[in-house]
Amino acid sequence: MICCKHYSFNLACPFGEVVASFDINLIANATYKHNFGKTPVTKGIDFLSVNDIERYDANCWLMSPPCQPYTRGGKGLDDQDPRAKGLLHLIDVLPKLSNPPDYIFLENVLNFEKSKSREKLITQICLMNYEIHECLLTPLQFGIPNDRLRYYLMARKISTFNKSEKVITSQKYFEQAMIYTSWPFECMLNNNKENNKCHHWKQQQGQQPLEFNVPELNSYIESCLDEKELKKYLVPEKNILKSFNFKFDIVRPTDKRCSCFTKSYGSHHVFGSGSLIQTKNLEFTDYEFENPKSLLELGLRYFTPLEIAKLHAFPSKSELSKSPNRKNENRLDSFNNNYAPKLFNDFELMQSSNYLEFPDDISLIQKYRLLGNSLNVFVVSELLRCVLFNLQVWICGLFMPEAFITATRQAVAQKHKWSLEELVLEIALNKSGDPDSFVLTGFKLEDTFYQALNGKTIIWVFVQVEEATPTTEATINLPVYLNEDRSDLLFIVNIESKSY
Ligand SMILES: C[S@@+](CC[C@H](N)C(=O)[O-])C[C@H]1O[C@@H](n2cnc3c(N)ncnc32)[C@H](O)[C@@H]1O
């Protein structure tokens, strides 16, 4: 479901904007519209022309192409499968664009890493000077009790962001390619400057090793379902009885893991489509799969769509109703720790005001299909934030303007190994993509500035003192206050009057 990437993007990059979403599945699109109020483009990706794509002027592409070309069930036809056409078309289009995206994110299943489609994608993006990170990760590694091993690729255009970085040929890339299987990636924790390719994330001395405490499934299970509701989710007896000797995955509420939910979950395919919850005789765990009748005593039921959505880390209504005071306390704590990877426990603090909802006319089985196609929102948002966008500041966690300014300043200083005194703050309008810039919203601009700046994107850019705009008669000192009564001055920024 394309909703998941939109939510992940919102969490990773709260000031970014999703300019368009694409899917040919009308039910996925109806759900997307229900949640975001905007209808995705239903034209097949493989039919988009260069002009169609350039019209959106998007600097970031998030993609989850169909996985059947890379699975045994889908015959593993790879780039020869018609369902791979959309991806292959985008690979062909990339060099024809006058302004290719700065960021590319791709998700797929295990085996994609061995595919010709990956080879074609990497060959193309290496030619176009993208820096690439690949990994195979599961939400369990992020503190979420759901196993969903997925392949992820994050590619960033070197020419835009790091002109000093050496361009690497695809041949060299394939020779050295590293597909990370642990999180955070080893190179992020490596203090050795030479090997520190993912330069931004260092384990501080004395810091606890990163441990993700996976909670019990209990905390994801809907406790308020009445008898009638529960009945809807019970596995039909006939499906259990015909599953002779199929060792399907049965979990109990106290377990800390459940298996991957596929799009056949909730159908008669009980085996291999996702875990079933045992609701009765919980002391009984010695399952006799060769005697399916014995399993009827276990009160086996499917996870509900809301439970799966929670396991996929979609924001949900129930989480939003938690105490606001607790949220603020934790946000302050996290401010002191804004370079660290986030545990899933922290995730609830980052919830936006949106939550996943399905339109009323979507059936239970359609919900399961959409969720089976979905990504884990938290995993994707962490990969976007920490690897693809390389954001060093957990912007969601900063709710004090003073702290925001200090943290952004520190982030730029640390990145370039500049001292804080070497940095000055400049203002830029309607400009984005500068890796040392931070977008500010919610500022009230007064008097003549208000007229000039109204409706424009305002960005703070940190520059080295010697590169700063010299102060002249045409420079205006713009004071920025915390409050309307102007009692607390936050900082002063110099702007060139003629530019506005
Ligand atoms: C594996 S699912 C990924 C869904 C995923 N969770 C997401 O966030 O987009 C692949 C999706 O691609 C869509 N799709 C398949 N072929 C397509 C094409 N040629 N153009 C656009 N969408 C396509 C399918 O309808 C399906 O929803």
Cα gap 315→328, rounded to integer Å = 18
| C-beta of 1 in contact with ligand 1 (< 6 A) | yes
Rounded to the nearest angstrom, the distance between the alpha carbon of 12 and the centre of ligand 1 is 22
Quote the CA–CA distance of 182 and 209 in Å, as a whole number. 13
Angstrom CA distances, 429 to 17, 192, 289, 452, 457, stand at 17, 38, 65, 10, 6
Query: What's the 426 CA to ligand 1 centre distance in angstroms?
Result: 42
pLDDT recorded at residue 334: 35
- Average pLDDT for 45-73: 95
Encoded tokens for 23: 């899917």
In the chain, the N- to C-terminal Cα span, in Å, equals 43
Task: Give the pairing type, strands 250-251 and 276-278.
Answer: parallel
Q: Is 375 in the pocket of ligand 1 (CB under 6 A)?
A: yes
Amino acid at 130: Y
Instruction: Kindly give the distance from the C-alpha atom of residue 170 to the centroid of ligand 1, in angstroms, as a whole number.
Output: 27
**Pocket flag, ligand 1, residue 5 (CB < 6 Å):** yes
pLDDT per residue as tens digits for the range 375-386: 999 999 989 988
Give the closest residue (by CA) to ligand 1 atom 19.
Answer: 44
How many angstroms from the chain centroid is the CA of residue 228?
36
Determine whether the shortest distance from the Cβ of 28 to ligand 1 is under 6 A: yes
- State pLDDT tens for residues 288-311: 999 989 999 999 999 999 999 999
Residue type present at position 279: T
155 CB less than 6 Å from ligand 1?
no
- The answer to whether 56 and 62 are in contact (CB under 8 A) is no
Could you tell me if 201 and 393 are in contact, meaning their C-beta atoms sit under 8 angstroms apart? no
Between residues 437 and 269, which one has the greater pLDDT? Answer: 269
Under 8 Å between Cβ of 422 and 46: no
Kindly state the average pLDDT of the residues 222-230: 87
Instruction: State the residue for tokens 């006319």.
Output: 361
Q: Could you check whether the bond before residue 95 is cis, i.e. omega within 30 degrees of 0?
A: no
Q: Is 470 exposed, middle or buried (0-12, 13-18, 19+ CB in 10 A)?
A: exposed
Q: Is the CB of 66 under 6 A from ligand 1?
A: yes
For the ranges 86-100, 177-191, 212-226, 255-269, the maximum mean pLDDT occurs at: 86-100
Q: Is the predicted pLDDT of residue 464 greater than 50, yes or no?
A: yes
Taking CA atoms only, the protein residue closest to ligand 1 atom 8 is 2
The CB of 109 under 6 Å from ligand 1? The reply is no
What is the DSSP-derived secondary structure letter of residue 430? S
What does the pLDDT read at residue 235?
Answer: 94
How far is 379 from 144, CA to CA, in rounded Å? 9
481 contact partners, CB below 8 Å, separation of at least 6: 487, 488, 489, 490
Largest CA distance in the chain: 89
Tokens standing for residue 465: 């003192």
The token pair that represents 308 in the structure block: 């799966």
The closest of 410, 419, 394, 401 to 481, measured between CA atoms, is 401
| CA-only gyration radius of the chain, Å | 25
Q: What angle do CA 434, 22, 67 make, to 5 degrees?
A: 100
Residue 64 Cβ contacting ligand 1 at under 6 Å = yes
Chain segment 185-200, per-residue pLDDT in tens:
877 765 444 444 444 4
**Alpha-carbon gap, residue 67 to 112, rounded angstroms:** 8
Output DSSP code: residue 167.
Answer: P
Q: Over 60: is that where the pLDDT of 355 sits?
A: yes
Indicate whether 351 pLDDT > 90: no
Distance CA 81, CA 420 (A): 54
Q: Are 338 and 409 in contact (CB under 8 A)?
A: no
Helix and strand numbers, DSSP H then E, in the chain = 19, 13
Question: Tokens 């959409």 sit at which residue?
Answer: 370
Which of the listed residues 3, 373, 376, 379 should we mutate to test ligand 1's pocket, taking the one with most ligand atoms within 8 A of CB?
373
pLDDT at residue 397 in the model:
41
Ligand 1 mutation pick, 9, 64, 260, max ligand atoms within 8 A of CB: 64
Count the alpha carbons within 13 Å of 445 in the hemisphere toward its beta carbon: 14
Q: Residue with structure tokens 């929102």?
A: 377
Helical pair 2-12 and 26-36, crossing angle rounded to 10 deg: 30
Residue indicated by tokens 């690897």? 387
Give every strand in the sheet of 179-180, ordered side by side.
Answer: 60-63, 103-108, 150-157, 130-137, 179-180
Q: Which of 67, 126, 386, 396 is catalytic?
A: 67
> pLDDT by residue (tens digit) across 395-419?
444 445 556 666 666 677 666 667 6
Which residue's alpha carbon is at the smallest distance from atom 11 of ligand 1? 66
Is the CB of 373 within 6 Å of ligand 1?
yes
Helix axes 85-93, 116-127, angle to 10 degrees: 10
Give the other-Cβ count within 10 Å of 12's Cβ. 24
Separation between Cα atoms, residue 316 and residue 60, nearest integer Å? 26
User: Measured between alpha carbons, how far is 182 from 198 in angstroms, rounded to an integer?
Assistant: 14
Atom of ligand 1 nearest to the CA of 63: 9
Walk me through the domains of the chain, giving residue ranges and CATH numbers: 2-206+322-388 (3.40.50.150), 223-303 (3.90.120.10), 400-499 (3.10.490)
The mean pLDDT value for 436-452 works out to 55
Give yes or no: 187 in active site.
Answer: no
Q: Would you place residue 73 in the very low, low, confident or very high pLDDT band (cuts 50, 70, 90)?
A: confident
Mean pLDDT for 139-168 is 82
Q: Which residues pair with 426 in a beta bridge?
A: 461, 494
Q: What is the pLDDT of residue 467?
A: 63
DSSP 182: S
Q: Look at residue 114 and tell me whether its pLDDT is greater than 60.
A: yes
Cβ atoms within 10 Å, residue 70: 27
How many angstroms does the Cα of residue 410 sit away from the middle of ligand 1? 40
